[in-house]
Amino acid sequence: MTAINPTLYNYISSLESMSLKDLQALWFEHFKEKTKAINKNYLINHLAYKIQADKYGGLSKRTKDMIAKKIKENSTQNTKTRTHTIKPGTELTKIYKNVEFRVTATEDGFEFNGLTYRSLTKIAHIITGQKISGPRFFELKN
């Protein structure tokens, strides 16, 4: 296990106190491209990783290959395969802000207010106006 360089540790710790403008400039220095990111935590986390990867090395080829394989597996999954763990005809109900909403599983997705949607997440977004997990919203997941 590689010991943490105290100077590097202090440098990375100092990212927390930098301004957004300074973090964006540092981003350009390390990534050789401008960023439009305005979330300081995002910038700090990615810069901290990049600085350490430059110093100690990044992910191994084996790890990169494993990640690529998982991404490919997940991207080739068909939405229908994932949604049809709920049998067609199943009715889901949810009370949100004192209003009851009903969704029916179909062969093609989910029917809500006379329209068919491919995902519960889209329906949850319509109901709440927020990005939210549909299965979580309808209490199918913890």
CA distance 82 to 98: 30
Q: Are 116 and 106 in contact (CB under 8 A)?
A: yes
| 3-state SS class at 75 | helix
Q: Is 119 exposed, middle or buried (0-12, 13-18, 19+ CB in 10 A)?
A: middle
Cβ neighbours, 10 Å, residue 118:
13
The per-residue pLDDT of the chain, averaged, comes to 86
Q: Are 62 and 8 in contact (CB under 8 A)?
A: no
Q: Does residue 140 or residue 19 have the better pLDDT?
A: 19
pLDDT in tens, 84-97: 478 889 999 999 99
